[in-house]
Amino acid sequence: MFYFKKSQLFFFFLFLVKYFLFLNKPILNLILLSNITVIIFWFLITALFFLIVLMLWTNAKGAPWLPTPRKKVIRMLQMANVKPEDTVLDLGCGDGRVLLAAARRFKAKAIGIEIDPLKAFWCKILITFLGLRKQVKVICGNFFKEDISAATVVFCYLLQSTNNKLEEKLIQELSPETRVVTNTFIFHSLVLVKIDDATRSYLYYVGTEPKKT
């Protein structure tokens, strides 16, 4: 009968580890691959968690992020008769598509207010890359707490409950001739000017509709 000393068992164990991990490359690759897979899995879970938290947070503060299709954005801005001398304010600017359309296609100034810091940061990078920093401004904040008096056109795609809360602020801070164009959800106290049934868009004036000259 053979007996092994502890030191011999230790060196034998090291030999096995060396053989299976360093000499047997398929096993080593499998272990490394499994570790990478675990890291990727937890990264995706963490990213998904933060995205859900941001979506719930923005929903509680105003509306979830559901971007308006680009063709509809153009149609709504045309509906509001946006001109180069206008300042278009997008309440909850998301990925910045309304700001870019107002600035590039209609040559207007644009201001976006976005409570989600990631989306606000993305918009700032985008407008910097496109050379629009002099024409477009992005504010990271809650539009209920920001000054909106500079706007001549306001673009909204929020929720009905948010529109109801927003009306008083629009009336108090905007001039009567300011145009408000909204996607899907309506305002009760503003002056309804036009309805686009095809896109469910509504155009309002804050006060009395200006007389045509």
35 CB neighbour count, 10 Å cutoff: 10
Cα 102 off chain centre by = 17
The pLDDT value recorded for residue 134 is 94
User: Where are the extended beta strands (E) located within 116-190?
Assistant: 136-140, 153-156, 179-183
Residue type (1 letter), 1: M
CA distances from 104 to 136, 141, 165, 194 (A): 10, 24, 31, 25
Helix (H, G, I), strand (E, B) or coil at 156: strand
Contact 79, 196 (CB under 8 A): yes
Catalogue the long-range contacts made by 14-18 (C-beta closer than 8 Å, 24 or more residues apart).
none
CA separation for the pair 74, 63 (Å, rounded): 21
Average pLDDT of the chain?
Answer: 82
Contacts of 114 (CB under 8 A, 6+ apart): 92, 93, 94, 120, 123, 138, 139, 140, 141
CA separation for the pair 121, 53 (Å, rounded): 17
Digit-coded pLDDT (tens) for 138-149: 999 999 999 999
User: Mean of the pLDDT values across residues 32-52?
Assistant: 61
What domains can be seen in the chain, in order of their start residue?
6-61 (no CATH), 70-205 (3.40.50.150)
The pLDDT value recorded for residue 57 is 47
pLDDT category of residue 66 using cuts at 50, 70 and 90: confident
Digit-coded pLDDT (tens) for 164-206: 999 999 999 999 999 999 999 999 999 999 999 999 999 999 9
Most confident of 12-21, 62-71, 123-132, 201-210: 123-132
Identify the helix (H) or strand (E) that includes residue 53. helix 25-61
Residue given tokens 């164009």 in the structure block: 181
Answer yes or no: is pLDDT of 12 > 90: no
Three-point CA angle 209, 144, 91, nearest 5°: 65
